[in-house]
């Protein structure tokens, strides 16, 4: 049957539309294939690296406790100086501390870590002190100086830049060497003698970037002589102690001696009373700790 011109025209338009549709669809498919290939090439070009991120907050100056505070993850985007398993042995050590406060999720980099430090020498001990006045917001991981303030207002640094291993309401645990133990013991006794004196801790605001302060407290002559004769004090420490006791240092010691003379009559009683309080606090804390062990 013959097709009229209108039908023929409609059929031709339909076929032309189908043809154009197929062409456009084909072009779209080709474009998508090319785009997918480009994306695959880009993905293949991405280099994934194993890096470390912080899983627990680390304070400025705080110790980096390896896998306790770090987590190994795979990352496609990370700083060039990120800590990786390949260089971790250099940077994640027992001496490593953070230069800044590190928040959870931070990718650890080499410029965030201070790997310099002093390993514990044979004379270092973990010591607890319950007679030091502690800052209200002091926490384990902070860094402090221990200072002695006399009733007259003179103020001396006894121990410098000590990492707080542990603390509670009235006790602090820090690592101290033999010479520091003797200096601290001397300062404690003298603080006990002088009513109105204060043995207290001050916290570093940014311990990772701040250097150590120089101790200014000078122990008594009898303690200095004991230090010089003590075989447990390292040769390096003795050299540093000798350098510390200069002419001006001896003048500072004279100032402390002068203040002590004002309490000569009450010295023994003051020391005995304060020592009893110290012992009682320690015994109470020890009993509480023992009782807590029995609860498990």
CA–CA separation, 83 vs 93, rounded Å? Answer: 12
Confidence of residue 294 (pLDDT cuts 50, 70, 90): confident
Which pLDDT score is estimated for 4?
66
Q: Lowest-confidence range among 40-49, 121-130, 139-148, 271-280? A: 40-49
- Does 202 or 35 have the greater pLDDT score? 202
pLDDT digits (tens, 9 = 90+) for 215-264: 999 888 888 888 888 888 877 777 777 777 777 777 888 888 888 888 88
3-state secondary structure at position 295: coil
Closest CA to 134 of 149, 125, 144, 124: 144
pLDDT digits (tens, 9 = 90+) for 123-135: 889 999 999 999 9
Which pLDDT score is estimated for 81?
84
Closest CA to 146 of 162, 131, 168, 122: 162
- Other Cβ atoms less than 10 A from the Cβ of 170: the count is 13
pLDDT digits (tens, 9 = 90+) for 63-103: 887 777 888 888 777 788 888 888 877 777 777 888 888 88
What the chain holds in terms of domains, given with CATH numbers, is: 49-114 (3.90.1210.10), 125-294 (no CATH)
| Alpha-helical runs (H) found in 88-193 | 88-91, 178-193
pLDDT digits (tens, 9 = 90+) for 10-20: 677 777 778 78
Q: Going by C-beta distance under 8 Å and a sequence separation of 6 or more, which residues neighbour residue 1?
A: none
Q: For residues 14-42, give the mean pLDDT.
A: 78
Q: For residues 152-180, give the mean pLDDT.
A: 92
| Alpha-helical runs (H) found in the chain | 5-45, 88-91, 178-193, 221-229, 235-244, 247-261, 267-294
Closest CA to 114 of 60, 70, 33, 185: 60
pTM: 0.70
CA–CA separation, 162 vs 126, rounded Å? Answer: 11
Going from the C-alpha of 262 to that of each of 105, 108, 156, 195, the distances in angstroms are 57, 55, 19, 10
Q: Which residue has the tokens 């609860």?
A: 295
């Amino acid at each position: 049957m013959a097709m009229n011109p209108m039908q023929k025209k409609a059929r031709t338009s339909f076929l032309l539309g189908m043809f154009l549709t197929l062409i456009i669809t084909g072009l779209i498919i080709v474009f998508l294939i090319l785009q997918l290939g480009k994306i695959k090439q880009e993905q293949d070009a991405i280099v994934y690296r194993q890096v470390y991120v912080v899983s627990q907050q680390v304070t400025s100056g705080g110790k980096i406790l390896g896998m306790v505070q770090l987590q190994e993850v795979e990352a496609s985007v990370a700083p060039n100086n990120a800590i990786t398993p390949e260089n971790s042995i250099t940077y994640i050590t027992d001496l490593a501390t953070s230069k800044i406060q590190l928040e959870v999720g931070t990718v650890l980099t080499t410029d965030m870590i201070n790997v310099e430090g002093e390993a514990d020498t044979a004379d270092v001990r973990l010591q607890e002190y319950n007679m030091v006045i502690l800052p209200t917001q002091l926490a384990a991981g902070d860094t402090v100086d221990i200072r002695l303030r006399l009733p007259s207002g003179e103020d001396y640094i006894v121990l410098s830049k000590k990492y707080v291993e542990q603390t509670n309401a009235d006790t602090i645990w820090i690592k101290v060497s033999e010479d520091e133990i003797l200096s601290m013991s001397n300062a404690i006794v003298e603080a006990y003698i002088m009513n109105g004196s204060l043995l207290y801790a001050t916290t570093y605001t940014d311990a990772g970037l701040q250097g150590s302060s120089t101790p200014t407290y000078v122990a008594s002559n009898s303690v200095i002589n004991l230090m010089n004769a003590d075989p447990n004090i390292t040769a390096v420490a003795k050299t540093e102690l000798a350098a510390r006791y200069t002419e001006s240092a001896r003048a500072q010691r004279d100032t402390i001696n002068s203040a002590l003379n004002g309490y000569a009559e009450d010295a023994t009683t003051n020391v005995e009373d304060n020592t009893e309080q110290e012992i009682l606090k320690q015994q109470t804390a020890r009993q509480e700790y023992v009782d807590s062990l029995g609860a498990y």
